[in-house]
Structure 1
Amino acid sequence: MTDTGIAVVTGAGRGLGQATSLALAQRGYRVVVAARSSDAAQATVDQITGVGGEAIPLVLDIAAIASIRAARDRLLPMLAETWPGSRIQVLVNNAGVGHFAPLDEVTGDDFDDTFAVNVRGPLFLIQAFAPHLADGARVVSLSSSLSRHVSPATAVYAASKAAVEAMSRSLAPELGRRGIRINTIAPGPTATDFNGGAMRDNTELRLGLGQQTALGRVGEPTEIADAVAALVSEDLRWVTGERIEVSGGVLM
């Protein structure tokens, strides 16, 4: 398999992060599988190596700046030893959390946790890894179609994803000096284990949300993962600072 460089993916122990790690490995990337749980990270590593890819696990709590910096400091020597000469070409900010509640039930803890994971974490992850990215590298952060359309009880989550999009646009000219592209992918309703696996396991919810899309169904994790892989490819080398929605045309 051709070495296309190293890809670091957060929240890669399950759901979209796991699917994205597999999609990138299938395209020749050596994948750093970052997750809060060592067991979850290793499970994804085992899937990748089981199909002939290369991957290593990394324990990382995206909500803690100290954890981000410590993980980076542990990782860099590992990369030099495991994959000497290979550079970090892709950084995917996938780890996220969703606290959904109507206005009168939103708590300060919910707000702080959402923004710590969904906004502060990606910012400081990029800050920590930017000096170690190859020139011409690609950064992708996961947003949500909810940054475009409204839905009850999603104000805090939607605001955090809108902040991620604004952050990416603002960082595009800074990173662009080194040819590094940064974009966001905004998934629509997708059948993952996010939010307790509701869209994956609740048939009635899947059907209802599917009817709100132009293509008549909810998405699958592999469809989001393939979009991330396409965005970091050379085919889209002239795209930066953009939000690309991958939602099957939800609530057009």
Structure 2
Amino acid sequence: MTSTASSTPIALVTGGSRGLGRNAALQIARQGIDVILTYRSRADEAQAVVAEIEGLGRRAVALPLDVARSGTFAAFAAQVREALARVWSAERFDFLVNNAGIGIHAPFAETTEAQFDELVAVHLKGPFFLTQALLPLLRDGGRIVNLSSGLARFALPGYAAYAAMKGGVEVLTRYLAKELGPRGIAVNVVAPGAIETDFGGGAVRDNAQVNAFIASQTALGRVGVPDDIGGVVASLLLPASRWINAQRIEASGGMFL
């Protein structure tokens, strides 16, 4: 499936040590795909995911990466190149999942410039320039999946800055699909609804009132869980999804219809 020495496809998942990224990495591995995952600070969490993936019979490597520090991306790409050669005897990987992110909840009138800049660095500048840095290592005919949010479609107070970044990611996805099309690379964006994780302080998971409100506004009558998202991301990497391109796939159970 690849044009490299590796006969097994390889996916790179940013923020793959926890939350939706961890679930996506595991779901991807279950589809017979090896994984390079990144983590920002918790190497122990990342190695635990590596062990889980290896338990599924796949190979995995965890590499440190702070997506807010674009100045480190060239060095990170060199680390990826080294890992590909060392573990897979390969020069290219097949799939890039731009998942890493943070949550900042602040009313528009109270959002600080520092908060705004941090969201830009992590959610917009990060995926833009990381993808750029990794393009030489991404094989022709590969796939890119970016992560957005249902908040780019519907509006909830306190997420103006965060949602604006995700709107930018959705536009970027279409441009990547257009410009990388000559290389046969398909690019899509997955927009999760509210999910029970520790994201943004874990309010959706831990606050019963918030959880009940979201469930009441969701057609399927409950709040999402990580398993509802990881499988969607993994499915976009499968051969049967090769003709899906430049699309926004919302996985929200039907929030705010």
Shorter-chain TM-score bucket reads: over 0.9
Is the contact made by 2:19 and 2:197 (CA closer than 8 Å) also made in structure 1?
yes
Equivalent position to 2:62, from 50, 57, 61: 57
Q: Say whether 1:29 aligns with 2:19.
A: no
| Residue equivalent to 2:19 | 15
Report percent identity of matched pairs.
47
Q: Say whether 1:81 aligns with 2:86.
A: yes
Return the letter of the residue paired with 1:32: I
Equivalent position to 2:103, from 98, 106, 113: 98
Is the contact made by 1:41 and 1:59 (CA closer than 8 Å) also made in structure 2?
no
* Cα distance between partner residues in 2 of 1:41 and 1:72: 18
Equivalent position to 1:240, from 224, 237, 245: 245
Return the letter of the residue paired with 1:26: R
* Cα distance between partner residues in 1 of 2:206 and 2:36: 29
CA offsets 1:110-148 (integer angstroms, 9 cap, x no match):
000001000000011110111111111000010000000
Equivalent position to 1:110, from 108, 112, 115: 115
* Cα distance between partner residues in 1 of 2:146 and 2:217: 25
Return the letter of the residue paired with 2:32: G
Secondary structure of the corresponding residue to residue 202 of structure 2: helix
Q: How many residues align?
A: 251
The list of structure 1 runs, each at least 4 consecutive aligned residues, that deviate by more than 4 angstroms after superposition, is none
Task: Normalising by structure 1, report the TM-score.
Answer: 0.96
What's the CA shift for 1:3? 5.4
Gaps of 5+ in 1: none
* Cα distance between partner residues in 2 of 1:224 and 1:155: 23
Q: Which moved more, 1:228-237 or 1:161-170?
A: 228-237
| Residue equivalent to 1:119 | 124
Task: Normalising by structure 2, report the TM-score.
Answer: 0.94
What's the CA shift for 1:15? 0.2
Gaps of 5+ in 2: 1-5
* Cα distance between partner residues in 2 of 1:43 and 1:61: 19
Q: Say whether 1:6 aligns with 2:13.
A: no
Secondary structure of the corresponding residue to residue 78 of structure 1: helix
| Residue equivalent to 2:188 | 183
* Cα distance between partner residues in 2 of 1:20 and 1:106: 31
* Cα distance between partner residues in 2 of 1:237 and 1:67: 32
* Cα distance between partner residues in 1 of 2:201 and 2:139: 36
| Residue equivalent to 1:70 | 75
| Residue equivalent to 1:159 | 164
What's the CA shift for 1:42? 1.4
Equivalent position to 1:228, from 227, 233, 243: 233
* Cα distance between partner residues in 1 of 2:166 and 2:183: 26
Secondary structure of the corresponding residue to residue 17 of structure 2: coil
Secondary structure of the corresponding residue to residue 243 of structure 2: coil
* Cα distance between partner residues in 1 of 2:37 and 2:98: 12
What's the CA shift for 1:49? 1.7
Secondary structure of the corresponding residue to residue 68 of structure 1: helix
Is the contact made by 1:6 and 1:86 (CA closer than 8 Å) also made in structure 2?
no
* Cα distance between partner residues in 2 of 1:225 and 1:3: 24
Is the contact made by 1:17 and 1:95 (CA closer than 8 Å) also made in structure 2?
yes
Q: Which moved more, 1:109-118 or 1:84-93?
A: 84-93
Secondary structure of the corresponding residue to residue 177 of structure 1: helix
Q: Say whether 1:169 aligns with 2:138.
A: no
